[in-house]
Structure 1
């Protein structure tokens, strides 16, 4: 099941792993990374240090510490207009995160709109890549029962829901 909601990625207690829109050094920052690091506590920053740096499209996993989840999967999305091929790298983020969750035997994962904030990826294009990649990757991930997109604002959530409906309608 794929769902799209408006909410706070750091407050998804019914989800096993949340995805961090990370920077290459996996350090606290603004946006999603800042929110998750603040909510998780300083242990998350310490756990990330030995895993950095990561490249666009890569995904790594840590414990979630003070977050209400078991894990954080950190993905480095492409910077739009800089990291190329942007669409393939963005798809790699979602695919690699799902495959990592599957290897860990997880049943649920929540994503933000990777690269659509400070990294400048146009929201509609980012949503299309995200939803298409998740839809085509999920059949190879039998443990995963729920994928949730957690969008910061109502406009983004509505766009993701509309695009998901269109994708599922065929």
Structure 2
């Protein structure tokens, strides 16, 4: 499995089978990534999601991409870093859930944002470390996903995620 980290817009990844929405419990438009994805996918997305709300912490839901160039959207719900208990555990669950959902739907390429770092207030380095560790562990036990692209909005986030994946590769080589 190849992992890329880049500065980019999550809704402008036409070569990916699926993109990931860092969703709110109600699976509504919201702000940040959820707002951008709902806007780009069009109003049918929110209508489609309504019966599946509320989305449980750490859970994933797959929907059509509607007006997006991607066939699928995988919605995951991370915990709010300040307001929820065990936010680190739920972020790892969310990452695992999205990877399992991708595998179960034969998705080969997936783009995800820096889940939890926006309105959910996760510190960038912590979110990056959890994401890198969860993806690294997953890649050892499951196959099918060929490429994961992490699309972030700033150089700071890009550095945090690249460093986390480099540390994870280094730690894996020592094991």
TM-score (norm 1): 0.97
Q: CA deviation at 1:131?
A: 0.8
- CA-based RMSD of the aligned residues comes to 1.0
Q: Do the aligned partners of 1:98 and 1:141 also contact (CA within 8 Å) in 2?
A: no
Q: What's the CA shift string for 1:93-139, capped at 9, x where partnerless? A: 00000001000011011111111111111111010001100110123
Match of 2:168? 167
Does residue 97 (structure 1) correspond to residue 86 (structure 2)? The answer is: no
Unaligned runs of 5+ in 1: none
Match of 2:68? 67
Secondary structure, counterpart of 1:18 in structure 2: strand
Q: C-alpha separation between the residues in 1 aligned to 2:110 and 2:91?
A: 17
Q: CA deviation at 1:85?
A: 1.2
Match of 1:123? 124
Q: CA deviation at 1:78?
A: 0.4
Secondary structure, counterpart of 1:50 in structure 2: helix
Count of residue pairs the alignment pairs up? 170
TM-score (norm 2): 0.94
Does residue 21 (structure 1) correspond to residue 27 (structure 2)? The answer is: no
